[in-house]
Amino acid sequence: MAAAKEAMVAIEHVPASTCPCSAWTCAPFGKEFDQYVNRARDEQKVKFIRAIPSRLVEMPDTPQPAHSLFR
């Protein structure tokens, strides 16, 4: 739901942009959330890509936040 909202806001600010959203599943769980996601897909042309990350890799040269859980 948050990804759909952020994608719609980005497309409103830059109409020529495309915002693909990757998700495990697109099953919103609130009142009228499914209509919101459908509107993002149909009217705003947000592309929902069904994907599962195969692995997460730490980039060695990037700074880590002080509260990082993966230290």
Please state the domain extents for the chain: 2-6+16-50
* Range 7-12, long-range pairs (CB < 8 A, 24+ positions): 7/40, 7/44, 7/46, 8/40, 8/44, 8/46, 11/44, 11/45, 11/46, 12/44
Rounded Cα distance between 59 and 10, Å, is: 27
Q: What is the pLDDT along the chain (71 residues), one digit of tens a residue?
A: 788 888 888 888 888 887 788 776 666 677 888 888 888 888 888 888 887 777 777 778 877 665 555 55
